């Protein structure tokens, strides 16, 4: 539309009155429509389509509502383009036609929504690359189309600043919305004055939504707003970068969540997670055949699964990379205020620590989402799997000898020597004292600020 305009504008240089009048008329009609007045053409359509309970049956007996609320349309951004801006194929001389081949309601929507591309090609391209579009192409009809998130006949200006409760994601991801609404972000976002905390699209994007637990995009989103987070954690968490790699943010910030260790198949040469080949899924069947008893992979089974994956490529190409994360999607959104975040080292670095009681192995499926298979918790400290999961504890690879000691202790404990918590606690206490001393020496100011009150230093309030 804009380009047609530009063409006309260029033309005005040698113009006669008729065209000038046309442009004037066109401009007026756009502005008056934008003010909530319907054009005569649109009124013609609405003569039939504003009737309530106007509907027709589709292929599987579902009803398609043909009722378009004229008032909503008049107030919408698309009033300016008019009904035929999107329904160009409708010729009133031949409309309505009832002879059309019957299709399902969903196929109807999928066909109609293609029209958005005409004017919003940019959004369409972003959307085409999203997990939602991928799912839809794979035949998952529950995944959203443009028209599921934007009701085409009533889109208002400023979609982005709509109230939290109206976010389009809510209709399909209800449990996640509930968890989010109670989270530290949801609590702030829900207040009329406190609109800066992120809503779904601020972390996941609206159109280019990707699978949540592959890649670093979500962590990057967190750190994009919380620019000082890395520095703040460094004051108490040793090797923060390593922790941020191996522990997801919600694993510490959703204190009531159930945590688990996810061992992810990783290609050490390409430096990326191993993905299933399109069309030839192998992970599930290989895991099943290795896990003959169906009790979850044990250390030997894990070893043979890895061997399978290494058969095609060079030896040792496929390895496992551990990550501590929460067990469900809803739990990832139960973020609490910082005072409740997990800080005690021994909630993780202790033999028998809760997060290490549940273990899964995962691979990336063709649509980008991870596929999980259960493993027995013993794989983490069995002597057999030192090779396969050794990287998780960074044995030998760490400058800090403490972890090597820790690893050996875990290992010993695994094969039955009860070396108690006392030793570990003692080791950690010494280590922590050292960090505390360093911190006080280097950052006396940050320290006094941190202890002078929890929320008073938050960026939005200052």
Residues 233-292 that bind ligand HEC (CB under 6 A): 233, 236-239, 242-244, 246-253
Q: Which of 229, 386, 405, 413 binds ligand HEC (CB under 6 A)?
A: 229
Shortest separation between residue 412's beta carbon and ligand HEC, angstroms: 18
Specify the stretch interacting with ligand HEC by CB under 6 A; choose among 89-97, 308-316, 357-365, 416-424: 89-97
- Interaction residues for ligand HEC, span 332-391 (CB under 6 A): 332-333, 335, 337-338, 341-343, 345, 347-349, 369
In sequence order, what are the residues at sequence separation of 6 or more whose Cβ sits closer than 8 angstroms to the Cβ of residue 49?
66, 67, 68
Strand pairing partners for 374? 360
Could you tell me where the beta strands, DSSP code E, fall in 160-241?
Answer: none
Nearer to ligand HEC, 75 or 155 (CB): 155
Q: Which of 33, 39, 149, 318 binds ligand HEC (CB under 6 A)?
A: 149
Does residue 56 interact with ligand HEC by CB under 6 A? Answer: yes
Shortest separation between residue 12's beta carbon and ligand HEC, angstroms: 21
- Interaction residues for ligand HEC, span 207-226 (CB under 6 A): 207, 209, 211-213, 218-219, 221-226
Shortest separation between residue 84's beta carbon and ligand HEC, angstroms: 6
- Interaction residues for ligand HEC, span 154-173 (CB under 6 A): 155, 157-160, 168-169, 171-173
In sequence order, what are the residues at sequence separation of 6 or more whose Cβ sits closer than 8 angstroms to the Cβ of residue 89?
none
Q: Which of 325, 364, 382, 410 binds ligand HEC (CB under 6 A)?
A: 325
Strand pairing partners for 55? 65
Give the pairing of strands 318-326 and 370-375: unpaired
Shortest separation between residue 76's beta carbon and ligand HEC, angstroms: 8
Residue with smallest beta-carbon separation from ligand HEC: 329
How many residues belong to the chain? Answer: 462
Nearer to ligand HEC, 8 or 308 (CB): 8
Cα-Cα-Cα-Cα dihedral sign, residues 98, 99, 105, 106: negative
How far is residue 109's CA from residue 97's CA, in Å, rounded to a whole number? Answer: 18
Residue 61-80 contact track with ligand HEC, rule CB under 6 A, x = bound: ---xxx-x----x---xx-x
Does residue 320 interact with ligand HEC by CB under 6 A? Answer: no
How far is residue 81's CA from residue 347's CA, in Å, rounded to a whole number? Answer: 59
State the maximum Cα–Cα separation within the chain, in Å, rounded to a whole number: 98
Cα-Cα-Cα-Cα dihedral sign, residues 440, 443, 444, 450: negative
Could you tell me where the beta strands, DSSP code E, fall in 46-124?
Answer: 55-57, 63-65
Q: For 157-214, give the DSSP string.
A: S-GGGS-GGG-GGGGT-HHHHHHHHHSHHHHHHHSSS-TTS--HHHHH-SSS---TTS
Nearer to ligand HEC, 237 or 424 (CB): 237
């Amino acid at each position: 539309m804009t380009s047609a305009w530009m063409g006309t504008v260029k033309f005005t240089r040698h113009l006669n009155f008729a065209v000038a009048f046309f442009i004037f008329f066109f401009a007026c009609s756009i502005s008056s429509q934008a003010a909530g007045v319907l054009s005569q053409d649109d009124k013609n359509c609405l003569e039939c389509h504003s009737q309530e309970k106007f509907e027709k049956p589709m292929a599987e007996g579902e009803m398609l509502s043909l009722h378009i609320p004229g008032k909503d349309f008049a107030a919408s951004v698309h009033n300016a383009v008019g009904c035929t801006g999107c329904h160009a194929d409708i010729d009133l001389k031949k409309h309505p036609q009832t002879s059309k081949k019957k299709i399902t309601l969903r196929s109807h929507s999928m066909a109609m929504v293609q029209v958005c591309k005409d004017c919003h090609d940019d959004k369409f391209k972003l959307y085409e690359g999203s997990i939602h579009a991928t799912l839809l192409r794979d035949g998952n009809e529950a995944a959203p189309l443009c028209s599921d998130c934007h009701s085409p006949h009533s889109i208002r200006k400023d979609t982005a600043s709509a109230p939290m409760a109206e976010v389009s994601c809510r209709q399909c991801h209800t449990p996640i919305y509930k968890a989010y609404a109670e989270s530290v972000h949801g609590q702030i976002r829900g207040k009329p004055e406190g609109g800066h905390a992120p809503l779904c699209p601020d972390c996941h994007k609206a159109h280019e939504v990707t699978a949540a637990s592959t890649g670093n995009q979500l962590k990057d989103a967190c750190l994009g707003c919380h620019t000082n987070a890395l520095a703040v954690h460094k004051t108490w968490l040793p090797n923060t970068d390593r922790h941020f790699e191996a522990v997801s943010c919600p694993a510490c910030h959703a204190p009531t969540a159930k945590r688990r260790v996810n061992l992810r198949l990783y290609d050490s040469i390409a430096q990326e997670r191993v993905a299933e080949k399109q069309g030839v899924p192998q992970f599930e069947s290989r895991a099943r055949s290795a896990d003959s008893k169906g009790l979850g992979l044990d250390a030997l089974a894990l070893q043979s699964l890895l061997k399978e994956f290494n058969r095609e490529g060079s030896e040792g190409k496929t390895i496992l990379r551990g990550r501590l994360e929460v067990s469900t999607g809803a739990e990832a959104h139960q973020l609490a205020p910082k005072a409740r975040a997990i800080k005690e080292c021994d909630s993780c670095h202790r033999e028998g620590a809760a997060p290490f009681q549940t273990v899964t192995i995962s691979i990336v499926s063709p649509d980008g989402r991870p596929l999980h298979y259960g493993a027995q918790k013993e794989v983490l400290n069995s002597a057999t799997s030192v090779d396969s999961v050794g990287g998780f504890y960074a044995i030998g690879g760490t400058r800090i000898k403490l972890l090597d000691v820790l690893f050996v202790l875990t290992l010993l404990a695994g094969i039955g020597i009860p070396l108690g918590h006392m030793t570990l606690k003692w080791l950690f206490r010494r280590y922590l004292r050292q960090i505390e001393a360093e911190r006080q020496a280097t950052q006396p100011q940050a320290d006094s600020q941190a202890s002078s009150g929890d929320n008073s230093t938050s960026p939005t309030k200052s």
